[in-house]
Structure 1
Amino acid sequence: MLHTKTFIRSTLISLIVLSAFAFQAIEEDFTQFLSRKLMKYRHAFPPEKAFLHLDKPYYVTGDTLWFKAYLVEGALHAMDSASNLLYVDLIEHRTGKNSALKRVNLNGGIGHGDIVLADSIPAGSYTVRAYTNWMRNASDDFFFQKDIRVFAENEQLTIDKPSKIDFQFFPEGGQLVAGVSTRISFKAVNGAGLGQDVKGFVLNQNKDTVASFASAHLGMGRFQFEAAADQTYSAFLKDKDGKLMPVTFPTVDPSGYTMIVDNLSNPLKMRIIAYAKIPGKSEIPVHVVGHSRGIVAFIAKGKIGARGLMMNLFTTELPDGITHLTLFDDENKPVCERIVFIDHNRNLNVKLSPAKTAFKPREKSEVEVTVTDSAGKPVEANLSVSVTDGSQILQQPYDQNIVSYLLLSSDLKGFIEQPGYYFDRQKSDRKVNLDYLMTTQGWTRFKWNEVLRDSLDLPKYFVEQGVTLSGEVRRNNKKVTDKLVLSLYLSNDSLNTFMTAETQADSRFAVYNLVFEDSLKVRLQGMNKKGNQSLSFKLDPFLSPKVSLVKIPYNPVTVDAQRLNDYLKKAAQDQEITRKIRESRERLLQEVTIKAKKEVPRDSRKIYGSADASIKITPQMASGSMSILDMLAGRVAGVRVTGSGMNASVFIRGNTSEPQFVLDGMPVDKEMVISMNVHDVESIDVLKGAGAAIFGSRGGNGVISILTKRGNENYDYSQDIVPGVLVSQIAGFNVPRAFYSPVYNAGNAQNAIPDYRSTIFWAPMLKTDKNGKARFSYFNSDAVSNVDISAEVLSFAGVPGYGKASYSVN
């Protein structure tokens, strides 16, 4: 189970009832019931959120995409989420193909990596996607997703004109009730998936204009409307040429509930106004429930009378981000929903201070980062920094950053255009436009019908703190019904270990939380059971979550034509220089003669020196033996084998007990050795007396060391099939590469090489000290241009921050 934290926020609630009925105390039974249900659901499915900071918004084939990964607990955003394995995909829009899969090892919720954009991948639009195994229990809409563009050398930028407009109305609270005044929000999206400015009007059945509307921000807007009970309505958009386009108007219900929320007029509190039109009821007791990312903020009760119900709720104790409001009727059923954004400006302040405002080409730049909280106090935090050449890379207008993602995008379903705009404090109308977004793009991380169920489904996907090795065992192509002990020998350049696993009733087995880099060789077979050669094994492949192909946004990045041309030209020059350098290192030498004593490579499986006796197993020798002990009989002086098959015993002269058996360097029991396939053995070493002393007391009766063909690192087992044995490789954590940053000192040979890096510097693993400061330095390139610096910051308490700066190089 994931480790989670809970908090209780006490919210002062002031209720003003615009009816003849007095406010009543909160009903304890419903309050406790709902709080218990929410807490139970959050403990069963505690959310995780992943965020990636990329070094730039677009790339060219042959380039490298650098990323920093942040993983937080979904409610409080604390960096203590349980998963330690993060998957990063690169999905091609056109085909849905996963062009890269990276496994990132997270330490304290942070990690980093890179994706090489090989020349073999096609140019076009891609999505970089990040998720944990646990996150797969929810919709993939809540995976981190960022659209990028990969250009080919000499590519010409073409942008199709958006055509078709998708237009929708959204009555506030979810319902349009006849005779009740409410507000209707709307959103227009063009064929590229971006907001489209529109104007329009609403007609009644008599063709009279009863309302008009015009978008205010990115195709969104809102207008007041009261539907009449005896009317039907139609709506039209009107373009600049006067052409009309009909759009669907919401259905008018004869009865129901409405809820209007004013979160803008007062910075300290929100006002909720509820109306109801229910036949036979003059007053209706209701509850208004507010929760922030699944944690209960308040539950208030009142009565809706003929003049409605109004509540003034203080918001000072609510956390920054989205708060979800639900109106429950007198039967405790959810009837209206609305989300609001709470903005107390509690994010981190991030200041980037270059040592100068102007530098020279290849001059060393020094930058200081200062991070403080909303009160101006220094904060220790984790951060990542990207520095790009402004003549090649155009920073995206109001692009996604860690603040906008954690507080906004991660809790909303669907594409959000220019999310950074809503956090730009210089935009005076940002809060109004953000409220438009709240009424047109709902909060869908869970649904009330799922939360209020009597029993919750078990999670399908578990938390991973390492790589999982799982699969299925069959005997004679049938499921194994009895429990079977399996032996696994795992090895790579830095790891050699032996472990066991046990099959379950469904003939499956699993080993969890393996921590290793690159890849791991696996040797798997049955243990301590007869008939192991009739076993077959199948390892589970990792299957990435399915991708839903979408055509929008067609061109996910904004690119200046001149910048793109400079970028592609300089990228091509840089890659050509790299190729020439590589070729110059591969020169043909004249013939030389080298004389030296041949050095026999040491077998890493042998922790001992020379064996007292050694047998090289030949096919003829193996064919005439039923077990490994049979091959020892009569072939090594001083070694006596009695019995046969599973009842065989072996003794080394001078000892009354059997020796220690060692398989590819790992101590094992005799039963496993006897059950092995003799054709899988490469050689057998026998150690006596002092030679066995390296094994301590276990080697007191001597040692018999079995070396297998597949245990040899030089053995090609790819085409070899051995009954009852599976040898394979599994992928582990990817090893992140170090970003190359040149050092320009006098006499440095690389000074003669042209330098036009688009990403001038990348530092993914910086931390501020107790004074809230961090410093970094690098050398500028040859480009005469503006240089852009961006920093993503997250405190250990889960408070995000974002900063940017620029300077010139001339």
Structure 2
Amino acid sequence: MIKKYFINYCAFPILVLISAAFHWSEEDFTQFISNKLLRYRQVLPSEKAYLHLDKPYYVTNDTLWFKAYLTESSLHLADSASNLLYVDLIDQRSGKNAGLKRVRMDGGTGRGEIVLADSIAPGAYTIRAYTNWMRNFDDAFFFQKNIYVFDRQDTGAAPQASGPIDLQFFPEGGQLVAGISTRIAFKGINSSGLGEDISGFVLASNKDTVASFNSEHLGMGRFQFLPKDGESYEAFVKEKDGKITRVNFPAIQENGFTMLVDNLSNPFKTRVLAYAKIPGQTEIPVHVVGHSRGIVAFVAKGKIGNRGLMMQLPTAELPDGITHLTLFDDKGKPVCERLVFIDHSRSLRVNVAATKSSYKPRELSEVEVTVTDSTGKPVQANLSVSVTDAGQILQAPHDQNIVSYLLLSSDLKGFIEKPSYYFDPAIAQRKIHMDYLMMTQGWTRFKWNDVLQDSIQAPKRYIEQGVTMEGDVKRNNKKLTEKTALSLYLSNDSLSTFMTSETDNEGHFTIYNLVFEDSLKIRLQGMNKKGNQNLSFILKPFEAPRATVVKVPFKPVTVDAKQLADFLRRAAEDQEIARKIRANRERLLQEVTIKAKKEVPRDARKLYNSADATLKVTQQMASGYTSVLDMLAGRVAGLSVMGSGMNASVSIRGNRGEPLFVLDGMPVDKGLITSLNVYDVESIDVLKGASAAIYGSRGGNGVISVLTKRGNDNYDYSQDIVPGVLVSKIVGFAVPKEFYAPAYPVTAPPSTLPDYRSTIFWAPLLQTDSNGKVRFKYHNSDAATTVDIRAEVLTPTGIPGFGKSVYSVR
């Protein structure tokens, strides 16, 4: 007898899905597993990042354009938790980071570019994308894509694979048990890390051939096998040169469990066959748990008898993608695992169509993208489009796209060769080949041991919604022994603000979620009552995750020699034209003499034109005082200072309350003014009566405006070092550039500059309307060629889509 408990995966939010299992079933094990998975996902929810690149390979001085997508991992909803995505470029030979971008994510999307300057050597690179939160998990979950940067001398010849074949066997369910027939999947990989078609055989200890095997797709295949009691086996693979090489064969277990899964015979049901050989047990209660990306899909209960156990598990309500099946024994221990891929073709339908099948060079092209769901209804979605010259850029066959990444590659560890092959409806054998992949590529998102343990370790890294600044404070180069208050002045072209913070007992401080573009100038100092001059500050730079050096030489698709030569030649011409255009903008003028009265620029920190009194602070003056207010005492008529240091109070004659304090144009409290390092003060302005009216009611008691040296844009930091003050810059969100596509108006005279762009057009921020449509226009280049258009799409509800089209230019 089999009991099954199913959850409608697509109809409810995540938490309702799990709690629904409790309502439908009173089984303790069902509730136990659901609780464990829910708790794990609550403590360690995960994210996925994906980059759509404009093309698969580049040349030095080229620009790599990218569109970034960020989702949560289970339902692929647009992720608004992390607003900062790191994108970097890793040299595969050295593992060094050749470029880092901080991309601001808005509603799960962002964009940017990496300029491949001369400083970036030609060769193989990996572009990565990850959030700070994703660093709590294995870096195998980072988005990673191999690219290649050519130089003008590159011939495009890919290294030839050499060396022995790496052949591995994978018993279905995880183990071979003596006396139980099962299936064994296998995969052969060459020295380039790619699947290699192979054949071979298995010998028993008496040297009889008991099985033979031949790969069917990218070195993968499977065969039926019945291990016998007390027998040992060895396998042999046939090399291309006819050489026969011995390879390791899985060990035979005397007792245990096996599980076979048929996910292909019926599109709406998965058949599970479970067998067991356990001494002293003829009926063994078991559970089969199915979950899709960490959300419980079903729990089935049954007993394995002498003839095994067969279950028919409906899959119609499961989402497209990988479902993880686990067989638990009567003690609640996972004993067999198997991945299956659910393919109901629920991805978006993306139709890309130009208004004409053929255009002329430099003619205006108009393209329409229509996005519908699997039932044909229009869908509003976010998309990015790349248009390339197919005469220069050869797209890799069945390369990664957003559909294959989110539904397949992002949930498996290791390299997936030709991932979009498994989603091409024109390939009749794709589903059986996908099943081979499920048997040979291991599950990696989490391990059951991590989920089932009583306590889950809290994550070490946090979700970032902005840039993080952290560092350490020391006194006399020694660790602090108590918390210390800090003041920060932050400024750039569009931001000017003050903040306060505090160190921990050991002097470490962290400022979270700073939102700014490009860079930010910071001025940091302590706010304690004494000893500020003895403080020193160390900012911790961002440390990108270490990258593993790829030993296998990577080369992109094998590019036709003439096609590569055209790409490199035209790229060089394009860069030379750009260089000449920049040079022509600079003209040497005749000497001229300009006579005029020098205009003194107005200090942007001052709202007022002039002050009633100004105190210029000199080095000698500062050396005699520890506080700004101490310096003012007795130097400004009508201004009274009572007390000293942090305890000083100040008033301007005719007013009962204290004046408004302003620091470099920003109103602040008195405590920040009194904590300033006097060596950093440039001047102090005092405003009384009508002069202070520009500050409104806040200036009713007068204004004391303090201007610092470092707040002055013209200040030369190299000439003056102030003890206890750190002035530095930190990097913020990268400012994305706009892709330049030339326009050729019909009425304008023809340009004499040749135009052979390899990326003809790049549109990262398109959005379909209520009819599921979006149109865009661009001018073709001078090349008589085939133009390749590729669109990647993601809805707010997490459904991906991919579409492509071509047209000719004659």
- Give TM-score scaled by structure 1 length: 0.95
Q: Distance in 1 between matches of 2:697 and 2:20?
A: 68
- The reply to whether residue 180 of structure 1 matches residue 176 of structure 2 is no
Q: Distance in 1 between matches of 2:97 and 2:478?
A: 34
Q: CA deviation at 1:402?
A: 0.4
5+ residue gaps, structure 2: 1-12
- Relative distance call for 1:316 and 1:652 in structure 2 (3 A) is same
Structure 1 equivalent of residue 41 of structure 2: 42
What is the CA–CA distance in structure 2 between the aligned matches of 1:720 and 1:618, rounded to whole Å? 12
Contact 1:89/1:129 (<8 A) preserved: yes
Deviations 1:751-778 (A, max 9, x none): 2211000000000000000000000000
Could you say what secondary structure the match of 1:370 adopts? strand
1:610 deviation in Å?
Answer: 1.7
CA contact (8 A) 2:395 2:557 kept: no
Q: Deviations over 1:653-688 (max 9, x none)?
A: 333443222111122233332232211111111211
Q: 1:8 aligns with which of 11, 14, 17?
A: 17
Q: Which secondary structure state, in structure 1, belongs to the residue aligned with residue 450 of structure 2? A: helix
Where do 1:202-601 residues align within 5 Å? 202-552=202-552, 554-601=554-601
- Which amino acid in structure 1 is aligned with residue 792 of structure 2? E
Q: Is 2:145 the counterpart of 1:146?
A: yes
Partner of 2:667: 667
Contact 2:176 2:182 in 1 (8 A): yes
**Within 5 Å, which residues of 2 pair with 1:747-786?**
748=748, 751-786=751-786
Aligned CA distance change for structure 1 residues 232 and 647 (closer, same or farther; 3 Å): closer
Aligned to 2:198: 198
Q: Distance in 2 between matches of 1:677 and 1:381?
A: 54
Q: Which is worse superposed, 684-693 or 259-268? A: 684-693
Equivalent in the alignment of 2:79? 80
Q: 1:360 to 1:332 in 2, by over 3 A?
A: same
Amino acid across the alignment from 2:84: L
Distance 2:644 2:26 in 1: 80
- Deviation string 1:324-368 (CA, Å, 9 cap, x unpaired) is 000001111001000000000000000011010000000000001
Task: Please report how far the alpha carbon of residue 225 of structure 1 lies from its aligned counterpart in structure 2 after TM superposition.
Answer: 0.5
CA distance in 2, matches of 1:511, 1:518: 18
Please say if residues 236 and 246 of structure 1, whose CA atoms lie closer than 8 Å, have aligned partners that are also in contact. yes
Gaps of 5+ in 1: 13-24
Aligned equivalents of 2:211, 2:647: Cα separation in 1: 94
CA contact (8 A) 2:57 2:147 kept: yes
* CA drift at 1:370: 0.4
* C-alpha distance after superposition, 1:283-325 (max 9, x if no partner): 1111100000000001111111111111111110111000000
| C-alpha distance in 2 between matches for 1:169 and 1:720 | 69
Whether the aligned pair in 2 keeps the contact of 1:387 and 1:787 (CA below 8 Å) is yes
Report Cα offsets for 1:452-478 as digits up to 9, x if no partner. 010110011111111112222233334
The sequence identity of aligned pairs, in percent, is 69
Q: 1:466 to 1:544 in 2, by over 3 A?
A: same
Do the aligned partners of residues 64 and 502 (structure 1) sit closer, same or farther apart at CA in structure 2, a change above 3 Å counting? same
SS of 1:77's partner is coil
CA distance in 2, matches of 1:642, 1:82: 50
> 2:320, 2:342 within 8 Å by CA — same for their partners in 1?
yes
Partner Cα separation in structure 2 for residue 553 and residue 342 of structure 1? 34
> Over residues 36-59 of structure 1, what are the superposed CA-to-partner deviations in whole Å (9 max), with x where a residue is unaligned?
000000111111111100000000
CA contact (8 A) 1:6 1:295 kept: no
TM norm structure 2: 0.95
What code does the residue aligned with 1:209 have? T
Q: CA deviation at 1:644?
A: 4.0
AA aligned to 2:709 is K
> Shift of residue 721 of structure 1?
3.8
1:751–1:724: structure 2 CA closer, same or farther, 3 Å change rule?
same
Corresponding residue for 2:796?
796
Which residue number in structure 1 is paired with residue 6 of structure 2? Answer: none
Q: Which whole-Å CA distance do the structure 1 matches of 2:215 and 2:18 have between them? A: 37
Deviation of residue 9 (structure 1)?
Answer: 8.5
Alpha-carbon distance between aligned partners in 2 of 1:117 and 1:131, rounded to the nearest angstrom: 20
* Cα separation, 2, equivalents of 1:7 and 1:238: 53
Partners of 2:387 and 2:560 lie apart in 1 by 19
Which position in structure 1 is the counterpart of 2:127?
128
Task: Look up the SS of the partner of 1:600 in the other structure.
Answer: coil
Moved more, 747-756 or 541-550: 747-756
Structure-2 change in CA distance of 1:152 and 1:439 (3 Å): same
Q: Distance in 1 between matches of 2:68 and 2:374?
A: 25
Task: Classify the secondary structure of the residue corresponding to 2:78.
Answer: coil
3-state SS of paired residue (1:555): coil
Q: Distance in 2 between matches of 1:77 and 1:558?
A: 34
Q: Per-residue deviation at 1:629?
A: 2.7
Deviates more, 1:710-719 or 1:775-784: 710-719
Is 2:683 the counterpart of 1:698? Answer: no
Q: Tell me how far apart the structure 2 counterparts of residues 776 and 262 of structure 1 sit (CA, whole Å).
A: 46
What amino acid does structure 1 have at the position aligned with 2:445? R
In 2, Cα distance between equivalents of 1:27 and 1:335:
24
CA distance in 2, matches of 1:247, 1:602: 80
Q: Is the 8 A contact 1:10 1:317 kept in 2?
A: no
Tell me the distance in 2 between the aligned counterparts of 1:187 and 1:7: 40
One-letter amino acid of the structure 2 residue matched with residue 509 of structure 1: F
Moved more, 254-263 or 543-552: 543-552
> Given the superposition, is the C-alpha separation of residues 701 and 11 from structure 1 closer, same or farther in structure 2, using an over 3 Å criterion?
closer
Distance 2:501 2:643 in 1: 30
Equivalences for residues 163-174 of structure 1 within 5 A: 163-164=162-163, 165-174=165-174
Q: Indicate conservation of the 8 Å contact 2:67/2:111, yes or no.
A: yes
Equivalent residue for 1:161? Answer: 160
1:721-736 to structure 2, matched below 5 A, reads: 721-736=721-736
**Is the partner of 2:253 in helix, strand or coil?**
coil
Q: How far does residue 392 in structure 1 lie from its aligned partner after superposition?
A: 0.4
460-469 or 785-794: bigger deviation:
460-469
Q: Residue type of the partner of 2:68?
A: A
Aligned partners of 2:16, 2:567: CA distance in 1, in Å?
Answer: 49
CA distance in 2, matches of 1:553, 1:223: 32
Does the 8 A contact of 1:9 with 1:318 survive in 2? no
* Cα deviation, residue 726, structure 1: 1.6
Query: Which residue of structure 2 lines up, in the alignment, with residue 100 of structure 1?
Result: 99
Of 688-697 and 404-413, the range deviating more from structure 2: 688-697
The amino acid of 1:515's aligned partner reads V
Code of the aligned partner of 2:91: E
Matches within 5 A, 1:677-696: 677-696=677-696
CA distance in 2, matches of 1:308, 1:545: 48
Task: Output the aligned Cα RMSD.
Answer: 1.9
1:300 and 1:646 mapped to 2: Cα distance?
Answer: 71
